């Protein structure tokens, strides 16, 4: 009977020793980081906003760290396939993922994901914002957001807006406005924003909230009317267009965003180093000059700030998806 406390202490000591054998190599690796190329996974196809951001920022990151940064496009299931690779990767800072705002939307659309969107990742930094833009056909009588809301309310169920497909950010951005302003306007999903824009120009649909970059040229040419952007602050690519908040919709924010994640349990020193490098990169003039014309606003953040953004976005889109009557699959 008297030997049990000693046995318990020995067991505790063995566990502590085992834990330390895992911690010390990670700590040593963090001090030397990086010593080999970094794999930056983009869970979407080449040419999109996530890919463009990854290649521009990745090039600068490689220059500053002195190692290669290889952008690896791993597409599928709305970003889930590529993101899962990083969730399962070694937490050593050599496999990262640049996720989009779909990272905060997917948990409400899928009954089961192959990873936990919070617990399986270490947030590094918010990198870029991609504001949407509320645009209307030129025949729409509204010239402000408030006028648009009142016009839609005067024709309940009679008007139609377009999106890039059900549950895409383009769709959910308008659903957020609908829920906040109690509007009854019909959703028409298209196979991508590019497919919807001709019908918007032709008046078959009256409004849409696509990415700023996809419609900015049409707005500047006078073919569409911009009422507001969806970011909290005005976007550098369209500084004359007010935000939704400025236009009279308090607390509205629905920008797409791209942010850097590492696997959970990546050493804090590595996460801090990467976050610090991103903060410097997004301030570079040549980086801004390449991103802003694409409708991408470089921002940067601390790991804690990015973690808070993800949690806020998870809660917001869960509410919007429920209000829109969308069921997880």
222-274 pLDDT, tens digit per residue, is: 999 999 999 999 999 899 999 999 999 999 999 999 999 999 999 999 999 99
Q: In CATH, what number does 33-130+255-323 get?
A: 3.40.190.150
Residue that the structure tokens 């760290």 belong to: 65
Are the folds of 33-130+255-323 and 133-229 the same?
A: yes
Helix (H) or strand (E) holding 163: strand 160-163
Q: Are 124 and 110 in contact (CB under 8 A)?
A: no
Residue that the structure tokens 């940067």 belong to: 300
pLDDT value of position 20: 55
- In this prediction, residues 67-94 reach a mean pLDDT of 96
pLDDT value of position 10: 60
152-203 pLDDT, tens digit per residue, is: 999 999 999 999 999 999 999 999 999 999 999 999 999 988 899 999 999 9
pLDDT value of position 328: 87
Ranges of each domain in the chain: 33-130+255-323, 133-229
111-168 pLDDT, tens digit per residue, is: 999 999 999 999 999 999 999 999 999 999 999 999 999 999 999 999 999 999 999 9
CA–centroid distance for 29 within its chain: 30
Question: Cα dist. 185→61, 149, 159, 203 in Å?
Answer: 45, 10, 5, 15
Q: Model confidence at 18, in pLDDT bands (50, 70, 90)? A: low
One of 3.40.190.10, 3.30.1180.20, 3.40.50.300, 1.10.540.10 is the CATH number of 133-229, namely: 3.40.190.10
Percent of the chain predicted with pLDDT > 70: 91
Is the CA virtual torsion 196, 77, 59, 265 positive or negative?
Answer: positive
What does the mean pLDDT of the chain come to?
92
If one counts every other C-beta atom within 10 angstroms of the C-beta of residue 3, the result is 8
Strand partners, 134: 228
Rounded Cα–Cα distance for residues 174 and 187 (Å): 9
- In this prediction, residues 269-291 reach a mean pLDDT of 97
pLDDT value of position 295: 87
pLDDT at 28 > cutoff 70: no
- In this prediction, residues 16-35 reach a mean pLDDT of 65
pTM: 0.85
pLDDT value of position 1: 47
């Amino acid at each position: 009977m008297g030997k049990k406390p000693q046995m318990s202490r020995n067991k505790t000591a063995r566990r502590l020793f085992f834990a330390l054998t895992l911690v010390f190599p990670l700590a040593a690796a963090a001090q030397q980081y990086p010593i080999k190329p970094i794999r930056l996974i983009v869970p979407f196809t080449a040419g999109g906003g996530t890919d463009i951001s990854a290649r521009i920022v990745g090039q600068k990151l490689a220059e500053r760290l002195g190692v290669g940064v290889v952008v690896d496009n791993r597409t599928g299931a709305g970003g889930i396939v590529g993101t899962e690779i990083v969730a399962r990767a070694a937490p050593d800072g050599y496999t990262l993922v640049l996720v989009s705002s779909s990272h905060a939307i997917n948990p409400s659309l899928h009954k089961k994901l192959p990873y936990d969107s919070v617990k399986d990742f270490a947030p590094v930094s918010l990198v870029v914002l991609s504001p949407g833009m509320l645009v209307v056909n030129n025949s729409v009588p509204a010239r402000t957001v408030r006028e648009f809301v009142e016009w839609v309310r005067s024709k309940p169920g009679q008007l139609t807006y377009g999106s890039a497909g059900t549950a895409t950010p383009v769709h959910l951005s308008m659903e957020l406005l609908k829920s906040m302003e109690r509007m009854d306007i019909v959703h028409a999903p298209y196979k991508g924003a590019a497919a919807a824009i001709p019908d918007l120009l032709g008046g078959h649909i009256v409004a849409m909230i696509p990415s700023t970059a996809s419609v900015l040229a049409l707005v500047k040419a006078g073919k569409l009317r911009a009422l507001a952007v969806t970011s909290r602050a005005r976007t550098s690519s369209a500084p004359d267009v007010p935000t939704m908040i400025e236009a009279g919709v308090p607390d509205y924010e629905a920008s797409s965003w791209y942010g850097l994640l590492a696997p959970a349990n990546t050493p804090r020193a590595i996460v801090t180093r990467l976050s610090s490098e991103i903060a410097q990169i997004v301030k570079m003039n040549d980086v801004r000059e390449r991103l802003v014309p694409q409708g991408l606003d470089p921002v940067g953040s601390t790991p804690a700030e990015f973690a808070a953004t993800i949690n806020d976005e998870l809660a917001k889109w869960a509410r919007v998806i429920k209000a829109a009557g969308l069921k997880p699959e």
